[in-house]
């Protein structure tokens, strides 16, 4: 009899714990949007890397542009290629929009691969281009997947794929974020927000608030992440000041934020490959931005 009572008690306890787990799971997931597919975004990473390094002016670079255009047009975006001349370099930014209404939000990511893997542990590989799975393809993959799942009546938004971000401190280039600088110089746009997505596929995802980024946007996006149960990935400590595509916008007086995990061990090396990119991390960032964008309508 005692044994039976003990088994019944343990069974009841298991049911209670199971119920608590399901309640917690439901609480964390109930606000997460349906649609953003981290696995599909990961396939965008794989495809881009399969083209080869997307260094400015290369054949792989042109094929990546064609891919962005094709995928976004399938999702009913109007796509144009903006050609800009910056510091003697001809660069191509890809701009996607759904109407002629000026954007309230610009989502941006660079798609170029670095010409030299200058951080590679093997000196022989330091003169080779970076494959750019996380540093380049992860951010553009998030934009592509958002382009597929965002409703047509969302806040007016542009998706911009920037060229020439990742060549800073290299001979003949010197500066970073040339494509973004050319974009800002060519338009007199004043969006409510610019969000740059860069290097967001690390398996060990740690996104710190970038020191130069607009505090309002940090507060808004980080709050969404915490509400979705992603607080362990969107951290509170400001650790880094990073030169990225948000800086030209900040210099023009436009609120901008850089969502980036700079603590990526394969940064600027030959090991920046798809196997070092996590579909789950892509989904975390993409879902957070999808919810945040849904909150922008009417602001």
Phi/psi at 98 (5° precision): -110, -10
Which residue, among 195, 210, 219, has the nearest Cα to 261 in the 3D structure? 210
pLDDT in tens, 182-241: 999 999 999 999 999 999 999 999 999 999 999 999 999 999 999 999 999 999 999 999
Backbone angles phi, psi at 60, to 5 degrees: -65, -35
- Chain segment 243-256, per-residue pLDDT in tens: 999 999 999 999 99
83: its two tokens? 């050609």
List all residues 6 or more positions away from 222 whose beta carbon is below 8 Å from its beta carbon.
Answer: 209, 234, 236
pLDDT at 96 over 90: yes
Which residue's entry shows tokens 């992860």?
A: 138
Query: Tell me: the pLDDT tens digits for 212-225?
Result: 999 999 999 999 99
* pLDDT level of residue 292 (50, 70, 90 thresholds): very high
Give the mean pLDDT of 247-268: 98
pLDDT of residue 299: 77
pLDDT per residue over 26-76, tens digit each?
444 444 556 899 999 999 999 999 999 999 999 999 999 999 999 999 999
Q: Which of 144, 156, 143, 183 is nearest to 99 (CA)?
A: 156
Residue 174 confidence (pLDDT): 86
User: What is residue 30's predicted lDDT score, i.e. its pLDDT?
Assistant: 46
What average pLDDT does the structure give for the chain?
Answer: 91
């Amino acid at each position: 009899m005692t044994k039976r009572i003990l088994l019944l008690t343990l069974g009841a306890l298991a049911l209670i714990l199971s119920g608590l787990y399901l309640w917690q799971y439901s609480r964390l997931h109930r606000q997460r949007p349906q649609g953003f597919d981290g696995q599909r975004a990961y396939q965008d990473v794989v495809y881009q890397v399969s083209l080869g390094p997307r260094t400015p002016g290369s054949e792989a670079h042109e094929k990546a542009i064609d891919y962005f255009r094709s995928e976004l047009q399938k999702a009913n975006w109007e796509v144009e290629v903006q050609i800009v001349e910056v510091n003697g370099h001809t660069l191509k930014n890809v701009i996607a929009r759904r109407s002629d209404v000026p954007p309230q939000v610009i989502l941006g990511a660079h798609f170029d691969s670095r010409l030299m893997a200058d951080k590679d542990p093997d000196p022989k590989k330091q003169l080779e281009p970076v494959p750019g799975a996380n540093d380049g393809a992860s951010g553009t993959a998030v934009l592509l997947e958002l382009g597929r799942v965002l409703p047509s009546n969302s806040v007016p938004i542009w998706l911009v794929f920037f060229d020439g971000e990742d060549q800073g401190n290299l001979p003949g280039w010197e500066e970073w974020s040339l494509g973004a600088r050319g974009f800002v110089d060519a338009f007199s746009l004043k969006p409510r927000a610019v969000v740059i997505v860069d290097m967001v596929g690390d398996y060990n995802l740690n996104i710190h608030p970038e020191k130069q980024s607009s505090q309002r946007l940090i507060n808004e996006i980080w709050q969404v992440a915490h509400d979705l149960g992603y607080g362990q990935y969107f951290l509170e400590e400001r650790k880094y000041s990073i030169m990225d595509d948000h800086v030209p916008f900040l210099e023009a007086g436009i609120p901008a934020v850089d969502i980036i995990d700079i603590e990526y061990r394969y940064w600027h090396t030959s090991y920046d490959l798809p196997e070092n990119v996590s579909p789950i991390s892509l989904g975390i960032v993409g879902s957070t931005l999808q919810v945040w964008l849904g909150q922008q309508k009417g602001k």
